[in-house]
Amino acid sequence: MQGFFEFLVIMCCAVFAGAAIYINLVEHPARMTCDIRAAWQQWQASYQRAVSMQAPLALAGLVFAVLAWLFGASGWVLIGGLLLGAVVPFTLKVIMPVNDELKSLTGEQAEAQAEPLLRRWNELHQVRSGLSLLALIILVAQA
């Protein structure tokens, strides 16, 4: 069971990290080449889809890491899982206020206010990418 749970946590972490890094390196920079209202609209559509993918991956990875550790995996597996799981409270406490501001804008407001919020959102999202990449490196290194 330990090996099975280790595989699952690595899989969740790899998918999360890959998606998070893709957003920072590809999707968000491309979004920001559009006019700001279009960028804001695209962020909203992307955000709704990403929530349903990334939150479950982070939480499942944390649960699988704890289970692997309980079945005898190294403490490094637990640390990797905790780093991946840390993106959830970071998102709720730090990124969510920016998300809420972006979601509350109207089309007219977006033209004047969305650009600095989208830039700040990307900076904060880089922390999620970094945490998940660090977790993946730890998990793969110990495997």
pLDDT in tens, the chain (143 residues): 999 999 999 999 999 999 999 999 999 999 999 999 999 999 999 998 999 999 999 999 999 999 999 999 999 999 999 999 999 999 999 999 999 999 999 988 998 999 999 999 999 999 999 999 999 999 999 87
Give the per-residue pLDDT at 107.
Answer: 85
Give the per-residue pLDDT at 3.
Answer: 95
Instruction: Give the total number of structural domains in the chain.
Output: 1
Look up the pTM and report it: 0.94
Provide the residue range defining the domain that includes 114.
Answer: 2-142
Joined together, the tokens standing for residue 111 give 């033209």
Q: 38 in helix, strand or coil? A: helix
In a 10 Å sphere around its CB, with 0-12 CB exposed, 13-18 middle and 19+ buried, how is residue 112 labelled?
exposed
Instruction: Compute the C-alpha angle 123/107/36, nearest 5°.
Output: 45
pLDDT in tens, 84-103: 999 999 999 999 999 999 99
Instruction: Compute the C-alpha angle 80/85/91, nearest 5°.
Output: 135
